[in-house]
């Protein structure tokens, strides 16, 4: 998100519930929340390199698509 919108803000919402799901959302100018990506927290661990690479690629692609849609 920071690459696409340098002034963006990350707001963590922590939980101790298992399994931990990560949801990346973007707030649009009208206040509407849009889900960019969601998945299992383990998909972001370096320990699972293949899953991490896939998740990072998906997040970046979805953010780029959202930015493109907002510019149209």
Q: What is the structure's pLDDT at 36?
A: 93
Q: Residue ranges of the domains in the chain?
A: 21-71
Position 66 pLDDT exceeds 70:
yes
> If we measure between CA atoms, which residue out of 44, 55, 46, 60 comes closest to residue 3?
60
Residue 46: burial class (beta carbons within 10 Å; 0-12, 13-18, 19+): exposed
pLDDT in tens, 5-50: 788 888 888 888 888 899 999 888 898 999 999 999 999 999 999 9
Average the pLDDT over each of 2-6, 29-33, 54-58 and give the range with the smallest value. 2-6
């Amino acid at each position: 998100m920071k690459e696409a919108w340098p002034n963006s803000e990350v707001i963590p919402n922590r939980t101790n519930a298992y399994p931990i799901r990560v949801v990346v959302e973007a707030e649009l100018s009208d206040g509407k929340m849009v889900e960019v990506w969601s998945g299992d927290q383990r998909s972001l661990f370096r320990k699972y390199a293949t899953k991490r690479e896939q998740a990072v690629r998906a997040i970046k692609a979805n953010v780029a698509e959202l930015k493109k849609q907002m510019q149209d």
